[in-house]
Amino acid sequence: MMSITDIKTIAVVGAGTMGSGIAQLAATAGYQTLLYDLDEEMLTKAKEAIAQNLQGAVDRGKSTLEEKQNILAKISFSNDLQTLIADVIIEAIVEKLDVKRNLFRKAAELNSEDTILATNTSSIPITQIAFGIPNPERVVGMHFFNPAHIMKLVEVISGASTADEVAKTIFALAEKMGKTAVLAADSPGFIVNRVARHYYVEGLKILEENVATVEGIDNLLEASGFKMGPFKLMDLIGVDVNFSVTSSMYEQFHQDEKFRPSRIQKQKVDAGFHGRKTKKGFYNYN
């Protein structure tokens, strides 16, 4: 069973905002890091984003140019599945059960039975993801928050099959990355998304009912002490990601009305208005 001292290499699957942030964290913690994605363009964007994040730290006096270069030197980028070999593999791909399972099956074929398979899922039960994966005891939840290189919390979730030692190792890994790790039960939404879901859902219901505008709702919540209103936050997280999590929780709670996904949000997703990353969401960022 892999311990924290055994970990030398980390592979991150998915070069989106979350995946690139996790890869940056892994390299900053001193690990040889692979960022894998099928899309070469996504890898190019991720490389630029990581360099920009690190340069921002340099500009603020939080880091040095030498440290920036050392971190970048620890990250390799690949769209070749055969290179997906590491001590820990963290997936940060689309929030769909079959896609995550398929990835872990392929990763299991390429790696040793001790390789830890960690999922950054926001809401899908770890028990479901691990089902049918060889050695399911090494499948564990490692849920970061966006932006991963800044947000401090990481939820570590054990499924029904997850070995205690695996959860302990991932907990220690999160702490080595400078995060505050918490153990969460394998229940819909875990801790944060279960608690926070209505921050988005209720705001969307108010918008659907024409009670207030996007700006009005955000201003009200920010005036009440929240750092960001629900619509600004959805644009930051990704409107598509947020909708996917809500949809997943709606199904897991057996279509409980209080988790109903919003028609307005679905329309944004269908139009490709996914927030800051597409320059348009509930707000325009051009």
Active site residue 158: no
Q: Which helix (H) or strand (E) holds 50?
A: helix 40-59
CA 137 to CA 269: how far, in whole Å? 35
CA 243 to CA 247: how far, in whole Å? 6
CA 243 to CA 154: how far, in whole Å? 21
Active site residue 122: yes
Instruction: Give every CB contact of residue 86 below 8 A, 6+ residues apart in sequence.
Output: 9, 10, 11, 34, 111, 115
Q: Is 71 exposed, middle or buried (0-12, 13-18, 19+ CB in 10 A)?
A: buried
Q: Which helix (H) or strand (E) holds 227?
A: none
Q: Which listed residue (91, 137, 143, 158) is catalytic? A: 143
Q: Which listed residue (120, 122, 158, 244) is catalytic? A: 122
Active site residue 143: yes
Instruction: Give every CB contact of residue 171 below 8 A, 6+ residues apart in sequence.
Output: 156, 181, 183
Q: Which listed residue (155, 158, 244, 274) is catalytic? A: 155
Q: Which listed residue (111, 120, 193, 262) is catalytic? A: 193
3-class secondary-structure state, position 256 = coil
Active site residue 76: no
Q: Which residues are catalytic?
A: 122, 143, 155, 193
